[in-house]
Amino acid sequence: MRIEGVILDWAGTTIDYGCFAPVQVFIDVFEEIGIPVTMEEVRAPMGQLKRDHIQSLLQMPRIEAAFQAKFGRSYTETDMNELHDRFEPRLLAILSQYGKPNPYVVETVRQLRQQGLKIGATTGYTSTMLSIVAKAAKEYGYEPDHWVTPDLVMDKGRPYPYMIYENMKQLGLRHHAQVVKVGDTISDIQEANSAGVWAIGIVKGSSMLGLTEAEAQQLSPEEERHIIAAVSKSYMEAGAHAVIEDMSQLPAMIEQINERLMNGELPYAKPHQ
């Protein structure tokens, strides 16, 4: 038994280094209703369907209390819809600028394809959003064999497993133990765990790191080691089976997983915490 397919996340994993496209838009729309949110708060639910992301923010104790203090009531479904209605057109307007592949993505995907692996993709973006991103990425030379968005699986995005399952169905992947999921957020790891596939976290370019490429390059070796260790620890505690620093390490990591499979080790689905 060997790995037959790789399911890659989009923003922060294969494109949009640092996963910045949605972050500022979230900050702006909450600012407009008089409830400032921090970049750390915005990044915590990253990878979820964007409407779910808004709900996760509103459920955070500090933000929930701020909403209550501002409006004298708890948030409602209408509030979530209004925030999403503000958020979506602004994100759509800028997404075409965020399709450039992260370092080593194009070369690594080419290498994996030459080895016979299928390349799928999942995301927190809707189909409308991802169509813009995918078109831009294709112009740079990156295009997965298939991609799935939450609205194609009845809005059951991460941490549900259905985007991975739909990729497996469309790509003809037979067994969850022969599939690897690579992502840059805790919700990516949860998605992989829910599906029972191998979960790999990526550090450089990730939302977890939250740095631009220029900022990452300016880190001292000691700072870089410290940050890589901290991000890796978060991934492993969330249920990752492995962590890579950047996409160039993925082929070697897949070989290590193939060895684990040969030794009888299988991935497993942890209960969603």
Catalytic member of 50, 118, 181, 204: 50
Query: Does the annotation place 9 within a ligand binding site?
Result: yes
The answer to whether 174 touches 188, Cβ cutoff 8 Å, is: no
Q: Which long-range contacts (CB under 8 A, 24 or more apart) does 102-105 make?
A: 102/13, 102/14, 102/15, 102/16, 102/17, 102/204, 102/205, 102/246, 102/247, 103/17, 103/204, 103/205, 103/213, 103/246, 103/247, 103/248, 104/246, 104/247, 104/248, 105/14, 105/15, 105/142, 105/247
Q: Six-digit token pair at 248?
A: 């160039």
Cis peptide before 159 (omega within 30 of 0): yes
Active-site residue among 9, 16, 52, 188?
9
State the number of CA atoms in the 13 A half-sphere of 119 facing the CB: 21
The question of whether 181 is a catalytic residue gets the answer no
Is 145 known as a binding-site position? no
- Rounded Cα distance between 110 and 140, Å, is 13
How many whole angstroms separate alpha carbon 225 and alpha carbon 230?
9
Any known ligand binding at 184?
A: yes
Among this protein's residues, is 155 annotated catalytic? no
Binding residue positions for Mg(2+)? 9, 11, 184
Q: Which residues are catalytic?
A: 9, 50
